[in-house]
């Protein structure tokens, strides 16, 4: 079965809805934690469920290299392999591949690049990306697209966007897994007419959902919001919209305001590994000496970490390089973004999203000490 998006309430452009998947029904807007290598770093599926996590994201490129899609397929697919019975979204591999490829390694057929593990030369095409994702058997697969950096010339952006459309078509034709959904990706850089063209042509192909790609690649915040505005108005109301690689609270709120339903980002786990935590009052770095004897909880929060441990203890674990420290912070940081989306959904339902957004930043917008 394909996923199905159900729009329940609008608050101006912000949307509250439900995403029906083969692995449960979940509310949107939602934040999706990243489990690159078939695990959300340091955490178990039970811990993700305890913080009300729904869809998680896994990376096709990384799983292609290790353990290999055939191993995952033999295990019975990604859900069985990693023992996670919630929905999983896989990216196309494109984002990683383009960060490893040189410009003239990009051909009409696909992309040549070198493995980040052993430098081995590899070739990824739309068909191959679909084949790997079909074998991984995630709930949602992503089209193979070229993610260009910012800034880029109009000429290059146009040519790349048009190739991405051809790749999307090839991928859709090669796609072969009736239990899996496929999302199209809108490109077009910072050029409104290219975003429009990309959106219209991608929608014509009738995907199960749409992503706005090519954001968070070096452009400023205002440019990113403009990119969303330029694309989203051409996307159908009855399909989910996904903003890739976005996890800062401010960006999530700006995205929701513009009609985005799904977000993903490595930020909460990456911050955790470096000792940083989201709090209601902004980000803090727990390694800071001022927390040495701070026996209060990290944040006013319902997560396992905040309910059971003090800043002083987490700081001790981080300073002593004990991995439990990063694990406890990962739980909290992911919970923080998921709680944010829970509050966003309540605000949309109550038709007070913009008010909520203002209230959130009145508290959150303070100084950051990291």
241 binds its own copies, rule: CB under 8 A? no
30 versus 43: smaller Cβ distance to its own copies: 43
217 binds its own copies, rule: CB under 8 A? no
Q: Which residues are catalytic?
A: 91, 264
Q: Which of 7, 18, 52, 75 binds its own copies (CB under 8 A)?
A: 75
312 binds its own copies, rule: CB under 8 A? yes
Q: Which of 153, 176, 308, 351 binds its own copies (CB under 8 A)?
A: 308
Is residue 67 exposed (0-12), middle (13-18) or buried (19+ Cβ within 10 Å)?
middle
Is 132:69 a contact under the CB 8 Å cutoff? yes
CB of 123 to its own copies, least distance (A): 22
Distance CA 227, CA 255 (A): 11
Distance CA 3, CA 99 (A): 30
Residues 6+ apart with CB under 8 A from 127: 170, 171, 174
Q: Which of 174, 205, 319, 354 binds its own copies (CB under 8 A)?
A: 319
154 binds its own copies, rule: CB under 8 A? no
Is residue 103 exposed (0-12), middle (13-18) or buried (19+ Cβ within 10 Å)?
exposed
82 binds its own copies, rule: CB under 8 A? yes
Is residue 299 exposed (0-12), middle (13-18) or buried (19+ Cβ within 10 Å)?
buried
| Closest residue by Cα to residue 56 from 360, 356, 330 | 330
Please tell me the count of residues contacting its own copies according to CB under 8 A. 35
Q: Which of 177, 310, 342, 352 binds its own copies (CB under 8 A)?
A: 310
How far separated are the first and last CA of the chain, in Å rounded?
45
How is the beta sheet containing 4-11 ordered, strand by strand?
A: 4-11, 14-21, 24-28
Q: Which of 158, 239, 241, 327 binds its own copies (CB under 8 A)?
A: 327
221 binds its own copies, rule: CB under 8 A? no
Q: Which of 81, 95, 167, 278 binds its own copies (CB under 8 A)?
A: 81
Which residues bind to its own copies, rule: CB under 8 A?
A: 37-39, 41-44, 62, 66-67, 71, 74-76, 81-83, 292-293, 295, 308-310, 312-313, 315-317, 319-320, 322-324, 326-327
């Amino acid at each position: 079965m394909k996923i199905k998006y159900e729009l329940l309430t609008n608050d101006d452009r912000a949307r509250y809805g439900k995403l029906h998947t083969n692995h449960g029904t979940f509310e949107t807007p939602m934040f999706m934690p990243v489990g690159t290598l078939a695990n959300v770093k340091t955490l178990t599926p039970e811990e993700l469920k305890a913080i009300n996590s729904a869809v998680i994201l896994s990376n096709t490129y990384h799983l292609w290299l290790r353990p290999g899609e055939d191993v995952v397929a033999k295990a019975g697919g990604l859900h069985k392999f990693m023992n996670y019975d919630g929905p999983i979204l896989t990216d196309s591999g494109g984002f990683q591949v383009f960060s490893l490829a040189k410009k003239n390694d990009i051909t009409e057929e696909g992309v040549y690049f070198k493995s980040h593990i052993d430098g081995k030369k590899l070739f990824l095409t739309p068909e191959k990306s679909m084949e790997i994702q079909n074998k991984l058997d995630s709930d949602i697969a992503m089209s193979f697209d070229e993610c260009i950096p910012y800034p880029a010339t109009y000429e290059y952006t146009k040519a790349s966007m048009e190739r991405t459309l051809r790749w999307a078509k090839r991928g859709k034709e090669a796609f072969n897994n009736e239990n899996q959904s496929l999302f199209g990706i809108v490109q077009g850089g910072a050029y409104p007419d290219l975003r429009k063209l990309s959106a219209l042509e991608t929608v014509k192909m009738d995907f199960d959902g749409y992503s706005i790609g090519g954001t968070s690649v070096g452009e400023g915040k205002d440019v990113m919001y403009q990119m969303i505005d330029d694309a989203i108005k051409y996307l159908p109301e009855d399909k989910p919209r996904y903003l890739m690689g976005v996890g800062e609270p401010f960006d999530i709120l700006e995205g929701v305001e513009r009609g985005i339903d799904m977000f993903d980002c490595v930020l909460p786990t990456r911050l955790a590994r470096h000792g940083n935590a989201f709090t209601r009052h902004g980000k803090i770095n727990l390694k800071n000496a001022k927390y040495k004897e701070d026996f209060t909880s990290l944040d006013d929060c319902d997560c396992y970490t905040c309910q059971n441990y003090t800043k002083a203890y987490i700081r001790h674990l981080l300073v002593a390089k004990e991995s439990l420290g990063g694990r406890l912070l990962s739980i909290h940081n992911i919970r923080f973004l998921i709680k944010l989306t829970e509050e966003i959904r309540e605000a949309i339902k109550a038709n007070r999203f913009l008010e909520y957004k203002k209230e959130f930043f009145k508290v959150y917008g303070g100084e950051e000490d990291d």
